[in-house]
Structure 1
């Protein structure tokens, strides 16, 4: 990509255009008119700022100088579970893209991801990954279908400016759910803004309900370790989470007036200064600044409050993968790109410094808190490598970075994840839109419906 104009849209509506410009299918040798292997790679969601593409163009040039036989074509891309199969069938996906941990098992079992076992072994990475994380991309035979590139923990994000307007100390954010509720009301009463908000549609409501269930010591699904799973949605922790949301909405009037937010729209509302607090992954700062125009001076992050004997922080992440429809030449180019763009900076000092320097010089975030996909020791060492280029306000994230290592990470439910999240969306929406919603009945029905999904 020599300019943002060369970025191709990955949406279904432009599948024909993308296919015509850079299609590489199982029946194509992947070579463009230049004789180089054309490789379509995921870049950013639609709406990313000019600086993001400037940084990517610099990285593309660096890669192509080292690999002159590969022509990189950037493709705008944002993961959307409900439309993935249509995009794959229509050929509108990039050759290299990312998917969440939660969906990788289903996708690989459906034959929708490329097997990269041999490539990972040849690169020498197989034994370097955290085995729990690598398991997310393995099938029953131990074959590997992607490269884990990034992990995150659940976090509570907050607006420091709204905290100050409400008389709250932004350097001492809430550490219990009761304190979150009290702060939300104080923010709303002082500013008229939503003191706290939460995702509720497009499977994100179920995701965040699950996250807060885990934070209260509950689980929404149990793996029976024999290929079957049990739905445990109807539990005290999930009920407590819904009662918390009901109180914010109907008793305190601190939730605001938008009950149809998802990952993108809640980030947009937060970046616009309309939300005091919300929960999401700890890696969200980069997108908030790059894609939604957040003023970094107002940003704060802390750990999600934990309550209960088995409380933990829901973890997640994403995996660099390839389409199963590409040919061997394109696959080889894809592995080379994944190694260079995603993996080397996790393991190699020179690669990490080059990546951080390039991003910094283009005004992109460097140093956003993540969880290591390899080891904590290597992750912390890598921060010393790139320290001169770190430009995120890590002092405003200290409540998170100081406490996250004391929280127990818990993986997302493994089976029918998105189907169950979609069911839980409806439960969250019911509580937020119906003051008289019967939480016990909603949970009982959701558990029954989820079990049916698990038994399919």
Structure 2
């Protein structure tokens, strides 16, 4: 992944003097009286519209804040290089993170505490509290801000619902309802699957996690300084048993299994799949890459609704940042990403460049800001917003859950359980979970 090298001010001894107290003035914290702020998250040049939008935002921000010099870098969070970049002084002052990152960075003291500064920025008070908690430490200290979010719901084919005698405006809200609807859709024939699920390349473990969360379960719980697996219980067995029953008793999941990420999108685009667990951003991919039509797809809340797997992105602050850099960083974030006054401007731009407008997420706001967001979506929508109303109405009450520690390694283990129940009618669910629990505990012991 390419990153523009961090620029540093070179301070010569002749300029700075030889005494230690003078050296502090030559750390690259300012240039020509300006606060120099390095930030990443700049989209690559191959994403022409997004790249230009980011740089245009930088130019506008600097015009409004002539005392701040933003130096944007490409690149996002890379766990493999993060620690070495931080130790080597190469980490940006304000850096991009996924929702899975903050808890670990906070625990390792690898991000700055910005609590004493956030109260000066009114827009932060309008961000959803459940999203702010992701960037909050155990003692209530704040370490960053969210920028975008998503959560999993039930993506379904409205056209197939109608053909099967189901109400396309009332998608299933429980897993029992999903099973019943899937059986009706499968009876349409023509190799149509009522419900689809993953089982390879970590996608199976990802969906096991989502479905377990929806029932109120957990993948891992903290014991002292480490985590232990928590999915080998009645809820974990229920997830796998439900899939086994749909696959082998109801025959509503189709004969072809060992599906990877693109497979379900392709099936949905071809009109051969009734439902699967997904985020709303799958819909434009199905339309643009797999010949689907926006009118045919709806989004409902995650079945059972006891929790949903959530993700997203945001920004945190280098632990070496000075107070001036933290204030400058918060000014930048509350201008470019967390700015209620630019909601209409940003959504209008999305519509102008042809991006889908009207999907139910990202949705980070509360109060008047949320009303402004909804109004802008209504004004500039180019997709059928009503198709996603069940998701919008239902998800407000569903608590969000982030991915477990060592998520990708854990998902790889859980793939095996998902694959077994979907390819072996006589799979021993208890044994599968016992094996997965032992393997995951070995992984988590190193977390």
Q: Is the 8 A contact 1:106 1:416 kept in 2?
A: no
2:310 counterpart SS class? strand
Q: How do 1:93-132 residues align onto structure 2 when only pairs under 5 Å count?
A: 98-113=96-111, 115-124=113-122, 129-132=127-130
Identify the range of structure 1 (151-160 vs 410-419) with the bigger mean alpha-carbon deviation.
410-419
Structure 2 equivalent of residue 339 of structure 1 = 334
Name the SS for the 2:337 alignment partner: helix
Deviation at 1:100, TM superposition (A): 3.4
**Corresponding residue to 1:321 among 302, 311, 315:** 315
TM-score by length of 1: 0.73
Aligned to 2:217: 218
3-state DSSP of counterpart to 1:401: helix
User: Which moved further from structure 2: 247-256 or 51-60?
Assistant: 51-60
Check 1:265–1:337 CA distance in 2 against 1; reply closer, same or farther (3 A cut). Answer: farther
Q: Is the CA contact 1:113–1:321 (under 8 Å) kept in the aligned structure 2?
A: no
1:137 corresponds, among 127, 131, 135, to: 135
After TM superposition, give the deviation of residue 241 of structure 1 in Å. 1.5
1:311-351 CA distance string (max 9 Å, x none): 51315233412474987698766544322221113xxxx32
Equivalent of residue 364 in structure 1, options 355, 359, 368: 355
Aligned equivalents of 1:90, 1:354: Cα separation in 2: 35
Say which SS state the counterpart of residue 144 (structure 1) adopts: coil
Partner secondary structure for residue 343 of structure 1: coil
Task: List gaps (5 residues or longer) in structure 1.
Answer: 1-10
Q: Within 2, Cα distance between the matches of 1:361 and 1:25? A: 38
Q: Equivalent of 2:399, from 409, 422, 438?
A: 409
Alignment of 1:178-217 (within 5 A): 178-188=176-186, 189-201=188-200, 203-217=202-216
Q: SS in structure 2 opposite 1:200?
A: coil
Q: Secondary structure at the match of 2:415?
A: helix
Q: Does 1:445 align with 2:440?
A: no
Superposed CA deviations along residues 399-443 of structure 1, whole A, max 9, x for unmatched, are 2223333x4415346655555444323322332344432111111
| Matched-pair contact (CA < 8 Å) for 1:218–1:236 | no
Deviations along 1:191-244, one digit per CA (max 9) or x if unpaired, are 4354322243454433321221232343344457x6665533122222122122
Q: Is 2:292 aligned against 1:299?
A: no
Q: Structure 2: which 5+ residue stretches go unaligned? A: 11-26
C-alpha distance in 1 between matches for 2:28 and 2:289: 35
Q: Indicate conservation of the 8 Å contact 1:52/1:290, yes or no.
A: no
What per-residue deviation string (whole Å, max 9, x for no partner) do you get for residues 362-413 of structure 1?
Answer: 22233432486453665245423553223332111122223333x4415346
Q: State the distance in 2 between where 1:110 and 1:127 align.
A: 27
Aligned mate of 1:84, from 76, 79, 83: 79
Instruction: Give the Cα separation in 2 of the matches to 1:70 and 1:234.
Output: 52
Partner residue in 2 for 1:254: 253
Measure the CA separation in 1 of the matches of 2:354 and 2:65. Answer: 26
Residue 117 of structure 1: CA displacement? 3.8
- Deviation by residue 1:59-101 (Cα, 9 ceiling, x = unmatched): 5564455456646657365x7xxx6324664799987554333
Distance 1:53 1:130, change over 3 A: closer
1:430 partnered with 2:420: yes
Larger Rg: 2
Question: Secondary structure at the residue paired with 1:195?
Answer: strand
Q: Is the 8 A contact 2:37 2:94 kept in 1?
A: no
Cα-to-partner distance string for 1:98-153 (whole Å, 9 max, x where unaligned): 43333321233345545544553443566555554333223345443320234444
Hey, what does 1:312 align to over in structure 2?
306
Matches of 2:275 and 2:9, distance apart in 1? 47
